[in-house]
Amino acid sequence: MFDVDVVMDRNQLIMITVIAYWYLRRRAEARIERIRDNNSILTGHTYTQELLRGSSTQCQELMRLSRDAYVLLCNHFKENNWLQSSNHISAEEKMAMFLTIIGHNERFRMVKRRFQHSTRTIHLCFHEVLNGMMEFAREVVRPTSFDGTLSMSERVRKLKEIFPGAIGALDGTLIHAVVPLNQQARYRGRGRGDCYQNVLAMCDFNMIFTYVWAGWEGIAHDARVLREVAFDPNSRFPFPPPNKYYLCDAAYPNTRGFLTPYRNTRYWLADFRRRRPVTKQEKFNHAHAQLRNVIERAYGVMKARFPILKQMAPYPYSKQIEVVVACFAIHNFIRRCNIQDQLFMEYDENAMFTAEEEHGGGIEEDIVEVQWGSSQDNGYMANLRDQIATRLFSNA
């Protein structure tokens, strides 16, 4: 007679052995496949060294900033211990991966081909740099001196004389966002099919962003975003001194600290291309638009440099916000270092750049009345606007 238990134990042992053999063989095949998958002669290390030793144009095209700016950025991160080299990947290579992703909106699977690392490694390096970028942003995205003694072009300096109390421009912009289906209604900004996050930012007259607050739903009106952020104790909103103000478009309230144009009057620069300003209100609006245009050009530089802002990758929404903040930080770093940059040169020369497609075109269109501030504050700014307009009209 056969011992049934013995036969079953033997069969189970054979089955376990077969399964273990199959599992180990599949693991070995997968390992061989991964090795063969990244078999380029140009490794990530070699590629990074080529960027460091090559021409600045190569860096500009591949990572969207000059070689000098790339080297300074890497050194700054290493000095502050925000990014360090690991056993197999240098800090410069990690930064190159990050810049390639946001500078060309590449997915991890594409970047792994260039740098010859696994998708998981690319993922870890990207988030390591992104975490460092949040510390970096706190350092470089901050208010500049309110005295206005910045290096300005002659054109901006003349406009600044018309608005002596202006310390910068304030505006919102829409950044593409990827959100779950059940939340998309709140992010479909201004009747568009795509989803957006509404970002509030301010910049000085040298195109350096002095404040940024990202993450609002695309459907949120600009004035509401400003009001909520300004009075949020956690936002650290930089209110201007009593005799200073930000230039804003008519979507915002004309109250102390925020100077807006006259409503129901031509305002956008394109409106004045065929017919010069005639009335004092039009003359004020034209001068206001010319000086406030600095924030449109700053947004233009940043979006041209980082295509990921126009077609965001499907990261978790909190990470999408961090990517936006990182783009602002790198933008400021390049500008603050006073490094010659092709994009800044192009937008400096194009003083008439407009982004009216984000505002709907007309000054009275899509404006929701959101008032805040006392009647005294509102009256103060209205009188100031009238004084500037009268002076402009009398000097014409």
Structure tokens at 392: 């402009």
Ranges of the chain whose pLDDT falls below 50: 1-2, 4, 33-34, 148-149, 356-369
Q: How far is Cα 52 from Cα 44, in angstroms, rounded to an integer? A: 12
Structure tokens at 255: 């109250």
142 backbone φψ class: left, alpha, beta (φ>0; ψ -120 to 50)? beta
Burial profile 130-144: b = 16 or more Cβ within 10 angstroms, e = fewer: bebbeebbeebbeeb
pLDDT at 363: 42
pLDDT at 28: 67
Other Cβ atoms within 10 Å of 360 Cβ, number? 14
For 211-262, write each residue's pLDDT tens digit. Answer: 999 999 988 889 999 999 998 999 999 999 988 999 999 999 999 999 999 9
pLDDT at 17: 81
CB 373 within 8 A of CB 255: yes
End-to-end CA separation in angstroms for the chain: 118
Task: Give residues with Cβ within 8 angstroms of 300, minimum separation 6.
Answer: 347, 353, 355
pLDDT at 365: 42
pLDDT at 351: 61
pLDDT at 342: 86
CB 245 within 8 A of CB 146: no
pTM of structure: 0.85
List C-alpha distances in Å: 7 to 10, 19, 151, 217. 5, 18, 89, 67
For 42-56, write each residue's pLDDT tens digit. Answer: 788 999 999 889 888
Q: What dihedral do alpha carbons 110, 115, 121, 127 form, nearest 10°?
A: -80
Burial profile 237-248: b = 16 or more Cβ within 10 angstroms, e = fewer: bbebeeebbbbb
